[in-house]
Amino acid sequence: MRGKFKLLAAAAAVAGAFGAMPASAQGLEFHGYLRTGTGSSSEGGKQVCFSAPGAGAKYRLGNECETYGEVAFALPFGKSDGPYAKYNLMLATIENNAASDFESVKGDKFDIASRQNYFEAGGFFGPGALQNAKVWIGKRYYNRHDIHINDYYYWNNSGLGGGIEDIALGGAAKLALAYHSKGDDTLVNDAVNGLNTRRLSARVYDIPVNPNGKLEFELVLLKGDSAGSPAGGEGNGFALFAEHMQTGILGGFNKAALVIGNDAGFGGASVPTFRDANRSAKGSSWRFIDQLYIAPQGSNWSGMAAFVAEQVKPDNGNKTTWYSIGVRPQYNFSDHMSLAFELGHDRTKEEGKATAHLTKFTVAPQLSLSRGFWSRPVFRAFATYAKWNDAAGNAGTGGVFGNDRDGMTYGIQVEAWW
């Protein structure tokens, strides 16, 4: 009998705890993203996707071969006239070559990943520079910048950490400070030699510099440390991001960005995977990005163009370069029917080797709920043709086209965000 009373008391305590939640946590938000479809190639078999070897991205339209989705939940706490907080959770799912209505995570075709899991809060500070400031702790997308038509995140400082943002600097400009850390995944069971990469970030943004134009800068300092002395030792480096955004251009915008990195900060566009602050990571890199989106008022045309130039030079390795240019125009016949085209060209070269290049063209009739380039969900049929040279090898297709240097794919896709 005493055991039963103890169980009842424990149950009452749990129920009381959860019962109190609605008084402070209300209004669950649900957001997400999904792209999925199916197709084939001119050689038969499954759909394949075209990409140049060594390129940081590929042009997306009619060239995505997986089902990828994100579901995000946000639970706000507090009241509108005082301190507030919000819990954010995002999970992602990805399926490759799905063949049935049951894909188990135990196989290699379906996976679930944690993308974001953090708390943010604000309203703690009185009038002044910190009045609208927010603090956050956890794993989150942090200051990600991408080109939509090739899904290239040319700057991405996401990961596990904490910080404060939206500190007023006078006028429209704001300041954000953040700390991130990333453990060495290859030494997870080595408490002595496991390398921990620390990243300190200072970001200044919304700096007005000209009519409808603003600047943003972020400086990230990387430092590695460990309890022991791993092979190569600890190292450091930096990465600097600068971007100018101009709005009001034919109903759209232009973004021009420069990213430079040194030692632990050189290499890929994603700061968490630069070089993990290993002392052996010595080198430099730079990339320049320009993207233009237009949607002239009263016109049925809209579209985006992009240009990427990138160079990575390890001190003890070969220099690599990547140049990319692409355009996706779209014509709306009505509020619900449109035709999109995409032409993209990538050139990559490793020092001492031949230049690889690939050109890809897609045409895609589309159905959507409303007019415009960004209208989602959008339902597409597509046909994609690509041509590449010998240096590009199989051009990401896995050899489906054998020794041919061109190929075609076709299929259907839906893409949505909400």
| Res 370: pLDDT | 97
What is the 3-state composition of the chain as percent helix, strand, coil, each rounded to the nearest 5?
A: 10, 55, 35
CA 304, CA 300: separation in Å to the nearest integer? 14
For residues 386, 391, 395, 399, the Cα torsion angle rounded to the nearest 10 degrees is 110
Distances (CA, A) of 1 to 4, 6, 218: 5, 9, 64
Secondary structure letter of residue 355 according to DSSP = P
Q: What is the mean pLDDT of residues 204-233?
A: 87
CA 1, CA 388: separation in Å to the nearest integer? 78
| Res 109: pLDDT | 81
| Res 268: pLDDT | 73
Quick check: 88 and 121 in contact, CB under 8 A?
Answer: no
Domain 123-317 belongs to what topology?
Maltoporin; Chain A (2.40.170)
Beta bridge mates, 368: 378
Confidence of residue 90 (pLDDT cuts 50, 70, 90): very high
Quick check: 302 and 372 in contact, CB under 8 A?
Answer: yes
Compare 41 and 96 and report the one with higher pLDDT.
41
Residue 4 has pLDDT above 60, yes or no: no
CA 351, CA 343: separation in Å to the nearest integer? 27
Q: What is the pLDDT of residues 12-68, one digit of tens each?
A: 443 444 444 444 567 999 999 999 999 999 999 889 999 999 999 999 999 999 999
| Res 273: pLDDT | 63
- Mean per-residue pLDDT over the chain, rounded: 90
What percentage of the chain reaches a pLDDT higher than 90? 75
Q: What is the mean pLDDT of residues 217-232?
A: 80
Residue 101 has pLDDT above 90, yes or no: no
Which CB contacts under 8 angstroms, 24+ apart, belong to 170-173? 171/208, 172/206, 172/207, 172/208, 172/214, 173/204, 173/205, 173/206, 173/207, 173/208
How many C-beta atoms surround the C-beta of residue 406 within 10 A?
Answer: 14
Written as six digits, the tokens of 380 are 């597409």
| Res 9: pLDDT | 43
Q: What is the pLDDT of residues 187-202, one digit of tens each?
A: 667 777 777 788 999 9
End-to-end CA distance of the chain: 52
Q: What is the mean pLDDT of residues 223-229?
A: 78
Return the domain boundaries, the chain.
123-317
Extended strands (E) in 47-124: 66-78, 84-96, 110-122
Residue 192 CB contacts under 8 Å (≥ 6 apart), including other chains: 226, 227, 228
- Residue corresponding to tokens 């579901």: 71
Q: What is the pLDDT of residues 340-374, one digit of tens each?
A: 999 999 999 999 999 999 999 999 999 999 999 99
Which amino acid makes up residue 110?
Answer: F
Which amino acid makes up residue 145?
Answer: H
